[in-house]
Amino acid sequence: MKIDNFTSIVCRAIRKCGFPMLFNRSLQALGLLALGMATVRGLAHAESSPADSRTEALTAAKRPNVLLIIADDLRDRVGCYGNPYIKTPNIDSLAARGLRFDHAYVQYSVCDPSRSSFLTGLRPEQTRVWDNQTCFRDNLPNVITLPQCFRQDGYYTAGYGKVFHTVTANFAKWGDATNSWNDCREVQFDAAKAAYFDAMKKKPGDLHDEDFSREPQIVEGRNLTKNVLKWCYWGATAGPDSLEPDYQTASDAIAAMGKAGGQPWFIAAGFHRPHDPFICPKKYFDLYPLSSLKLYQDPDDMSKTLSLAIPSGLDFDEFQKFSTEDKLEFMRAYYACTTFTDTQVGRLLQALDERNLWTNTIVIFMGDNGYHLGERKWWNKVTLFDRCCRVPYILAGFGVQSGRVCEAPVELVDMYPTLLDLCQVKPPTNQTLAGQSFRSLLENPDGLGKGHAFTMVTRGKNDLVGRSVRTSRWRLTEWDEGRKGIELYDEVNDPQENYNLADNPKYSDLVKSLRAMFGTLPKITQNPNERSHILP
Ligand SMILES: [Ca+2]
């Protein structure tokens, strides 16, 4: 109780000062034990609420199930997020029966760094996973992942498809098969491999993405860059959905719901789409005639883009060669793959209906990073703009109010402590989670939460760091600690972030105070020896 009381006092002090993270480090040191526990149990836990008695009454056998659904590279423009042109009826229905977070942010806007962060509960500064070639276990061999933590506390855990960033050649390692899951699998399509190569006139070494081998036969498609960018192609496949790996991922997850044997379960389904290569059954492409699509246009008077804000190099150069038709086909393919993914989400939701599982299951739907579809002439991810940092994020089911929207910023790294909090799972020992439980926002979606979210990316071989903080009103980004430029955007009056206000003297104090927030982030670990302060 003393710990909770202390945390409560800290919470009130933080809220009073307006910048939740701007409390000084001496206070952190004083409350090390208390804050450590509060972090894993959730700051919100300090305040009593009707839900306290509800969750405290949970017995081990009655703890809720968790269904975690991850879509790869899904940006924040699905139907329920205000895009009338894309068809996502199942994601929309989940939002209608649950809580839609309108400001959920990734901690690094690329697959592996993002997933390594929210599945370990640590920030990219701590994991030091900044690319898609680093397995988090190599950097943090003893870290306890989110599903592993549930498993250690009595849950049946199962993960299918791309949950962790996976590499087919070594799925057991990259998928964390031994530590995190009772059961896991990633579907491969060896039989379709030859047909695929034949259809695309390629050799196995031509493609960097291992996913290609799992697709059924492509009957229509093309590379939009004349094969310069190997990943940049779309393909419409023949046959039913059931040939697709993502369909089988959903099937695996549905089957797992009956395998827990009375234990509560944590099941994750990671869909590969709408990530490139943009391949899915032809009927989804047919939903989007090119003439029905409208391309985004940057305004003529927008601020000059800073040199590091959009990655330079071959990808950018190729995007500038896109014809109108190329752009429309890119958008159609992304939309088609999004609707295909939505259909697989629908199958999972239907399975919950059929098994009457909604009352004791927490459902989370999320993207792992956003995506540009032409904004700032960029057709990819790895930026610090809202289109790339913000993701769809919907919770529904056990303990979640229906049909509500939460405007408060949350970070994906908050999911780990939030789920521990909601399910009364024991936090990992010797591992301080970087996020905060947002359980209070489930109870009061109009709450302010912690008020901010951080995202980072790196540029170039020297790993120049770009860091960004998003509050409800502003986004402040600095490159190489400001040496390579600063951006400030007014998210209320300029939601597309077209007009950089950082050099306007009127906002100098605001820029200073927002930049100071980066001082609350963990120090970037430089080498494995320095990681000892994160884990024993
Ligand atoms: Ca991704």
How far away, in angstroms, is 367 Cα from ligand 1 center?
Answer: 7
The residue-averaged pLDDT of 347-358 equals 98
Question: Quick one: pLDDT at residue 189?
Answer: 52
pLDDT digits (tens, 9 = 90+) for 328-343: 999 999 999 999 999 9
Measured in Å, residue 137 CA sits from the centre of ligand 1 at 19
- Residue 156: beta bridge partners? 265
CB 149 within 8 A of CB 257: no
State the pLDDT at residue 205.
41
| Helix pair angle (324-354, 89-96), 10° resolution | 50
Question: Within a 13 Å sphere around the CA of 478, how many CA atoms are in the beta-carbon half?
Answer: 14
Q: Please give the average per-residue pLDDT across 208-215, as a whole number.
A: 42
Q: Percentage of the chain with pLDDT > 90?
A: 75
Which candidate, 372, 454, 425, 518, places its Cα nearest to that of 149?
A: 425
Q: If phi over 0 gives left and psi between -120 and 50 gives alpha, with beta otherwise, what is residue 399?
A: left
**What φ, ψ does residue 507 adopt, rounded to 5°?**
-110, 15
Indicate the SS3 state at residue 530: helix
Band (242; pLDDT cuts 50, 70, 90) = confident
- Amino acid letter at 22? L
**How many residues does this entry show for the chain?**
536
pLDDT level of residue 71 (50, 70, 90 thresholds): very high
115 CA from centroid of ligand 1 (Å): 8
> Cα(140)–Cα(142) distance, rounded to whole angstroms?
6
For ligand 1, the distance from its centroid to the CA atom of residue 291, given in whole angstroms, is: 28
- The owner of tokens 């004349």 is 226
pLDDT of 520 = 96
pLDDT, average across residues 147-168: 94
Alpha carbon of 471 to ligand 1 centroid (Å): 23
Residue 17 CA to ligand 1 center (angstroms) comes to: 36
Rounded to the nearest angstrom, the distance between the alpha carbon of 177 and the centre of ligand 1 is 20
In the chain, where the domains are located:
60-450
Q: What is the mean pLDDT of residues 91-107?
A: 98
Please give the average per-residue pLDDT across 4-31, as a whole number: 34
Task: Identify the band that residue 289 occupies on the pLDDT scale cut at 50, 70 and 90.
Answer: very high
Cβ within 8 Å of residue 304, ≥6 positions away: 500
What is the mean pLDDT of the segment spanning 356-383? 98
435-481 residue pLDDT tens: 999 999 999 999 999 999 999 999 998 889 999 999 999 999 999 99
pLDDT at 187: 77
**What is the per-residue pLDDT for 335?**
98
Cα 114 to ligand 1 centroid, rounded to whole Å = 8
Secondary structure, 3-state, 335-386: HHHHHHHHHHHHHHHHHHHHCCCHHHEEEEEEECCCCCCCHHHCCCCCCCCH
State residue 418's pLDDT score.
Answer: 98
Over residues 101-110, mean pLDDT: 98
Provide mean pLDDT across the span 378-395: 98
Domain at 60-450: CATH architecture: 3-Layer(aba) Sandwich (3.40)
Q: Say if residues 342 and 336 touch (Cβ distance below 8 Å).
A: no
Per-residue model confidence (pLDDT) at position 457: 97
Measured in angstroms, how far is the CA atom of residue 404 from the centroid of ligand 1?
Answer: 27
Q: Ligand 1 centroid to 111 CA: how many Å?
A: 4
Residue 218 has pLDDT above 50, yes or no: yes
Give per-residue pLDDT as tens, 254-269: 999 999 998 999 999 9
CA of 405 to the centre of ligand 1 (A): 24
Residue 337 Cα, ligand 1 centroid: separation in angstroms? 14
Percentage of the chain exceeding pLDDT 70? 81
Question: For residue 110, how far is its CA from the centre of ligand 1 (angstroms)?
Answer: 5
Task: Determine the pLDDT at residue 34.
Answer: 35
Ligand 1 mean position, distance from CA 305 (Å)? 24
Q: Are 510 and 490 in contact (CB under 8 A)?
A: no
Name the 3-class secondary structure at 425.
coil
Per the omega criterion (within 30 degrees of 0), is the bond before 147 cis? Answer: no
User: If we measure between CA atoms, which residue out of 454, 456, 453 comes closest to residue 465?
Assistant: 456
Tokens in use for 528? 């494995």
Q: What is the mean pLDDT of the chain?
A: 86
Which residue would you say has higher pLDDT here, 245 or 61? 245
- pLDDT of res. 61: 58
User: What is the whole-number distance in angstroms between the Cα of residue 274 and the centre of ligand 1?
Assistant: 9
Report whether pLDDT(46) > 90: no
CA of 383 to the centre of ligand 1 (A): 12
Residues 379, 319 contacting (CB under 8 angstroms): yes
- Short-list 183, 325, 193, 205, CA closest to 263: 183
Give the Å distance between the CA of 72 and the centre of ligand 1.
4
SS3 call for 49: coil
CA of 365 to the centre of ligand 1 (A): 14
- Gap from CA of 381 to ligand 1 centroid (Å): 8
Mean pLDDT value of segment 105-133:
96
Residue 410 CA to ligand 1 centre (angstroms) = 18
CA distances from 117 to 121, 125, 145, 218 (A): 6, 9, 10, 35
Type of residue found at 217: Q
- Residue 109 to residues 73, 105, 106, 525: CA-CA distances in angstroms? 9, 9, 6, 19
Please tell me the pTM assigned to this model. Answer: 0.85
> CA–CA separation, 523 vs 454, rounded Å?
14
Q: What is the mean pLDDT of residues 170-198?
A: 75
